Amino acid sequence: MNNEHYLIHKDDYVKHIDEKVMLYSFVKQLTHHIGKLKATHENEPIMKMAATYAIAAEKLFDSWGIPKSYLVFDDEDALAELMENELIAPEDAGYYPIDDEEDDNCNFECRCGDCCGCCVEDEADGFDEDGAESEDDFIEMLGAMSAIIHNIFGDKVSVHIVIEE
């Protein structure tokens, strides 16, 4: 995956953990019951397979980092350390939510389709009196900053700049 970043909803992440735990439990229960069978020539292959699967399931479970206490108590708080190690909050990665409601004090209108409220309505607003020279400098600075961000996070990152007065 080349260290690509994705956003996942917490409920989806916990559901994924729960499904892993469920499959692990299924394998452990099946291998346990197969191991209790009376050893015969006919069931020898399935008993060897069950022993191999039990070892593989333990190794997988250990690699997932899910605390065994979560198997017993199903307490989401037990996943806190795992979530801290595997997940990153969108704000920590530089993503910030954009309010859906328009701010009454906002003088901005989006030039890219009115989707984010990040574009200046009047080109001269917020710049010096003639507007042109400082606006060009500002656009050049934004382009340079965007290039740096894309070098760090890759080309599939969208950059939203919110200007507050």
Q: Residue 63: pLDDT above 80?
A: yes
Share of the chain above pLDDT 70, in %: 70
The domain in which residue 84 lies consists of 10-90
Alpha-carbon distance of 25 to 28, in angstroms, equals 5
Environment class of residue 163 by beta-carbon count within 10 Å: exposed (0-12), middle (13-18) or buried (19+)?
middle
Closest by CA position to 110, among listed 102, 119, 101: 119
What pLDDT is attached to residue 159?
66
- 27 with 86, same domain: the answer is yes
Answer whether residue 2 is part of any domain: no
What pLDDT is attached to residue 127?
47
Answer whether residue 164 is part of any domain: no
| Spatial CB neighbours of 109, under 8 Å, sequence gap ≥ 6 | 117, 119, 120, 121
Q: Residue 105: pLDDT above 90?
A: no
Alpha-carbon distance of 138 to 146, in angstroms, equals 12
- Once rounded to an integer, what is the mean pLDDT over residues 102-110? 47
- Can you tell me which residue has the tokens 């910030």? 96
Answer whether residue 159 is part of any domain: no
Q: Considering the entire predicted model, what is its pTM? A: 0.56
Q: How sure is the predictor about 121, in pLDDT bands with cuts at 50, 70 and 90?
A: very low
- Once rounded to an integer, what is the mean pLDDT over residues 52-56? 96
- 17 with 64, same domain: the answer is yes
Q: Residue 18: pLDDT above 70?
A: yes
Of 69, 90, 111, which closes a domain?
A: 90
- Can you tell me which residue has the tokens 């009454």? 104
Answer whether residue 3 is part of any domain: no
Q: At what angle do helices 44-64 and 10-35 cross, to 10 degrees?
A: 150
What pLDDT is attached to residue 147?
75
- 70 with 26, same domain: the answer is yes
What pLDDT is attached to residue 88?
83
Q: Residue 104: pLDDT above 60?
A: no
Based on the structure, what is the number of domains in the chain?
2
Chain center to CA of 18: 17
Answer whether residue 161 is part of any domain: no
- 43 with 107, same domain: the answer is no
- 67 with 137, same domain: the answer is no
Answer whether residue 77 is part of any domain: yes
Of 90, 123, 139, which closes a domain?
A: 90
Q: How sure is the predictor about 139, in pLDDT bands with cuts at 50, 70 and 90?
A: confident
Of 63, 90, 117, which closes a domain?
A: 90
